[in-house]
């Protein structure tokens, strides 16, 4: 606990420094921060909030200044910078300052919680992960009080429901996400496979065959399968897919039963451990999304588990796999048992903002049909939450995978955030920390699921049972 507290204080101090620096011009890059939350020694997190984009006009009479903590560095941050520039040019009375946020979702919620606990007015608008409405509701405004009912009428109802806590709409749906299997169409053909794997056994076999073949031809850096193995929220997503697609349940059920301690879940974790050093690089236990994508992007992996954002980037001019890949549903233990973890982001406004009305206006614009279409077509290829965009001709032409994979996204498996709120973040920490012990060879799958069960009983006080 002590280490965690110190790490979080580190985040807050860096954040405060950056906010202070932002007052008078471009921010000075902050020194590397101890940004890892509990049990995260190996996580390759970047220091948060290092850069300010599109400085807003200096404070002037009658001008409202808003601060938005945006995504971490990369294609999405570039997209958000461009949006802020357009907004600031069109809205001289509401000027927005965009600050780079942490890359890891786990670090990001740590930062928000610290700011909320201090009831800080420094952040007005923020990105809210699909798993956080229940944990963060008490600190966020109710968009229904700012005319959002009409705006969300065209969103997927399940996402609106997920963002509604005790009748309050605490997040505006922005983009949805689901775990996908990316695969090299050229290499599948080269090695005589008809199509992507339906089961984990098939994936292991294909990955090994392709890896052996490519290495024999001289590419010693080639790996069969890359994914997210660092101890952070992304590992919860990957491990939930392995477990659910093996019949091992969702850690905690909808009706608040702790179901993780079962043989299928234990076997799924042992299976993933078996990949490391064999078809997956030893370094996978420090990979977040971007580390896996880099291996893939360079043409050094046959398969990758990642979110839809990687699709557009993989088609980029600098990509070694452009025109040589596709994405599909992840495998399962048996054919048809595939599972995609439901991800996605919302826009939230802090209850402690001095200008909630202006921030709500910006949030409504960011999540509008027009902006969702733009971000679907941008290189980061973010999946819309507006139903009508799935029949949009431009999206159908330029992003055919979106309508094609709609069933994967709409049947995605939710993490147990509603059942465990407001303690989902701690639940996930317990889960990924123990899964990480398995991946690093310090615990068996069976010991890990038993430990998770005990820790969750302590934390949540729920009953235990079968999935």
d(CA 151, CA 250): 32
Pairing mode, strands 223-226 and 301-306 = parallel
- Residue 360 CA from chain centroid, whole number: 23
In the complex, what is the shortest distance from the CB of residue 172 to ligand GLC, in angstroms, rounded to a whole number? 15
> CA 350, 10, 416: angle at the middle one, nearest 5?
55
Q: Which is nearer to ligand GLC, 46 or 95 (CB)?
A: 46
In the complex, what is the shortest distance from the CB of residue 151 to ligand GLC, in angstroms, rounded to a whole number? 21
Q: Which is nearer to ligand GLC, 176 or 280 (CB)?
A: 176
Prior bond to 422 cis, omega within 30?
A: yes
Residue closest to ligand GLC, measured at CB? 343
In the complex, what is the shortest distance from the CB of residue 428 to ligand GLC, in angstroms, rounded to a whole number? 9
In the complex, what is the shortest distance from the CB of residue 344 to ligand GLC, in angstroms, rounded to a whole number? 5
- Residue 31 CA from chain centroid, whole number: 25
In the complex, what is the shortest distance from the CB of residue 409 to ligand GLC, in angstroms, rounded to a whole number? 11
Q: Which is nearer to ligand GLC, 116 or 424 (CB)?
A: 424
Q: Which is nearer to ligand GLC, 122 or 233 (CB)?
A: 233
Name every residue whose Cβ is closer than 8 Å to that of residue 178 and which is 6 or more positions away in sequence.
307, 308, 340, 341, 342, 343, 383, 405, 408, 409, 412
d(CA 244, CA 339): 6
In the complex, what is the shortest distance from the CB of residue 110 to ligand GLC, in angstroms, rounded to a whole number? 14
In the complex, what is the shortest distance from the CB of residue 271 to ligand GLC, in angstroms, rounded to a whole number? 21
Q: Which is nearer to ligand GLC, 169 or 310 (CB)?
A: 310
By CB under 6 A, name the binding residues for ligand GLC: 105, 129-130, 177, 233-234, 237, 289, 307, 343-345
Q: Which is nearer to ligand GLC, 129 or 371 (CB)?
A: 129
Q: Which is nearer to ligand GLC, 130 or 140 (CB)?
A: 130
């Amino acid at each position: 606990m002590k280490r965690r507290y110190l790490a979080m204080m580190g985040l807050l101090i860096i954040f405060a420094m950056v906010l202070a620096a932002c007052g008078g011009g471009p921010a000075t890059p902050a020194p590397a921060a101890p940004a890892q939350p509990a049990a995260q020694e190996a996580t390759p997190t970047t220091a948060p909030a290092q850069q300010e984009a599109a400085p807003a006009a200096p404070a002037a009479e009658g001008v409202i200044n808003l601060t938005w903590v945006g995504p971490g560095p990369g294609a999405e941050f570039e997209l958000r910078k461009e949006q802020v520039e357009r907004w600031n040019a069109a809205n001289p009375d509401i000027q927005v300052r965009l600050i780079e946020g942490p890359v890891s979702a786990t670090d990001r919620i740590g930062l928000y919680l610290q700011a909320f606990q201090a009831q800080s007015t420094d952040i007005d608008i923020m990105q809210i992960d699909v798993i956080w409405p229940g944990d963060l509701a008490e600190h966020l405004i109710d968009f229904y009080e700012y005319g959002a009912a009409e705006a969300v009428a065209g969103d997927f109802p399940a996402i609106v429901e997920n963002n509604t806590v005790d009748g309050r709409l605490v997040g505006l749906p922005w983009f949805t996400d689901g775990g996908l299997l990316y695969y090299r169409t050229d290499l599948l053909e080269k090695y005589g496979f008809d199509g992507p794997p339906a089961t984990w056994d098939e994936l292991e076999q294909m990955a090994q065959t392709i890896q052996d073949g490519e290495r024999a031809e001289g590419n010693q850096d080639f790996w069969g399968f890359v994914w997210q193995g660092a101890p952070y929220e992304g590992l919860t997503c990957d491990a939930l897919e392995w477990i659910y697609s093996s019949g091992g349940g969702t850690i905690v059920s909808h009706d608040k039963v702790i179901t993780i301690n079962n043989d299928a879940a234990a076997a799924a974790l042992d299976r993933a451990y078996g990949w490391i050093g064999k078809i997956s690089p030893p370094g996978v236990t420090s990979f977040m999304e971007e580390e896996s994508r880099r291996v893939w992007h360079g043409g050094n992996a046959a398969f990758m588990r990642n979110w839809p954002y990687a699709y557009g980037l993989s088609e980029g001019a600098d990509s070694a796999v452009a025109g040589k890949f596709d994405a599909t549903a992840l495998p399962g233990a048996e054919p048809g048992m595939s599972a995609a973890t439901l991800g996605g982001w919302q826009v939230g406004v802090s209850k402690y903002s001095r200008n909630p009305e202006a921030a709500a206006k910006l949030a409504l614009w960011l999540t509008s049909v027009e902006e969702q279409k733009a971000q679907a077509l941008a290189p980061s290829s973010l999946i819309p939450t507006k139903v009508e965009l799935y029949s949009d001709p431009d999206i159908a032409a330029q992003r055919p995978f979106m309508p094609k994979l709609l069933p994967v996204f709409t049947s995605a498996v939710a993490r147990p955030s509603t059942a465990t709120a407001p303690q989902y973040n701690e639940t996930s920490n317990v889960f990924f920390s123990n899964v990480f012990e398995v991946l690093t060879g310090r615990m068996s799958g069976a010991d890990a699921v038993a430990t998770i069960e005990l820790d969750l009983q302590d934390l949540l006080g729920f009953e235990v049972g079968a999935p």
